[in-house]
C-alpha cells in the first residue's frame, strides 16, 4: 500500500485498493478475454475447417478460465472453491475425451455421443458461474446471456431437445457475449471488480482458527 492508493469506506470499516489489487483485476479481465476469444475461435474453426486442430483452442480456453477463477474476487469462499472444482473436473473430462477419441476426432465423438457432455460440462458450469457473478454485481445483460445460454445449450443437447447446430450456435453466442463482457470491463475502475474488501476481511475473521 502507498499513500496514493484510494481508500473507501466499507460495510465493516475502511479499506484500500492497492497496486496488487489493480494488477489482479487487470489479469482477471485479460484472462476472461482470452477464454472468450478462444471459445469463439474454436467454434468458428470447427464450423469452417472441421475437427482437425480445433482442439488446440481448448488450451487457451481452459488456461484463461482457470486464471480468471484464480484472480476473480468472490466473497463466498465455498462458491469460489466450487467454481474451481468445476473447472478442474471439466478439464479432466476434456482430457479423457481427447485421449479416448483422439484430438482430431474429439468433437465428432462429442456430437455422436452427447453423454460426454457430463464429462466436459463442468468446465462450462464454471464459466456460467462467472457470468452469474458478473450479472449479480453489475447487472450486465451480456453476463446473464452467458449464464443462461451455456446450460440451455449443453443440457438441451444432452437430453436431445435441441440439435447439434443449434447447440453450437448458442455456444458461439455465449463466446461472443463473454468477449463483450470482458472488453466492457476494461473501462471500469479496479475497485468495482475488487468489491468491498472489508467484507472479505470480516468473513475471513469469522473462519475457525486453524489448529497446529
Q: What pLDDT, in 10s, does the model give residues 145-154?
A: 999 999 999 9
Q: How far apart are CA 99 and CA 94, in angstroms?
A: 9
pLDDT at 3 over 50: no
- Structure confidence at residue 137 as a pLDDT band (50, 70, 90): confident
Q: What pLDDT, in 10s, does the model give residues 64-95?
A: 999 999 999 888 888 999 999 999 999 999 99
pLDDT for position 198: 74
pTM over 0.85: yes
Q: How far apart are CA 48 and CA 42, in angstroms?
A: 10
- pLDDT, average across residues 98-119: 94
Strands (E), the chain: 7-10, 13-16
Q: Count CB neighbours of 152 within 10 A.
A: 17
pLDDT for position 41: 97
Estimate to the nearest angstrom the gap between the alpha carbon of 57 and the chain centroid: 15
pLDDT at 210 over 60: no
pLDDT for position 209: 53
- Residue bearing the bigger pLDDT, 208 or 88: 88
pLDDT at 206 over 70: no
3 state SS of 74:
coil
pLDDT for position 60: 98
Amino acid at each position: 500500500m502507498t499513500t496514493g492508493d484510494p481508500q473507501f469506506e466499507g460495510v465493516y470499516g475502511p479499506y484500500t485498493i492497492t497496486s496488487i489489487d489493480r494488477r489482479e483485476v487487470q489479469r482477471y479481465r485479460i484472462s476472461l478475454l482470452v477464454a472468450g476469444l478462444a471459445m469463439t475461435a474454436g467454434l468458428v474453426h470447427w464450423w469452417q475447417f472441421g475437427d482437425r486442430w480445433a482442439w488446440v483452442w481448448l488450451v487457451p480456453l481452459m488456461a484463461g478460465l482457470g486464471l480468471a477463477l484464480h484472480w476473480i474476487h468472490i466473497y463466498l469462499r465455498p462458491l469460489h472453491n466450487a467454481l474451481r472444482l468445476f473447472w478442474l473436473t471439466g478439464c479432466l473430462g476434456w482430457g479423457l475425451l481427447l485421449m479416448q477419441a483422439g484430438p482430431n476426432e474429439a468433437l465428432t465423438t462429442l456430437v455422436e455421443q452427447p453423454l460426454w457432455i457430463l464429462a466436459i460440462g463442468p468446465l462450462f458450469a464454471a464459466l456460467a458461474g462467472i457470468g452469474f457473478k458478473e450479472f449479480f454485481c453489475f447487472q450486465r445483460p451480456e453476463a446473464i446471456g452467458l449464464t443462461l445460454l451455456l446450460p440451455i445449450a449443453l443440457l438441451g443437447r444432452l437430453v436431445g431437445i435441441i440439435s447439434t447446430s443449434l447447440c453450437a450456435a448458442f455456444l458461439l453466442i455465449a463466446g461472443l457475449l463473454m468477449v463483450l463482457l470482458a472488453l466492457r470491463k476494461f473501462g471500469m475502475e479496479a475497485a468495482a471488480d475488487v468489491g468491498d474488501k472489508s467484507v472479505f476481511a470480516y468473513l475471513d475473521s469469522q473462519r475457525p482458527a486453524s489448529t497446529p
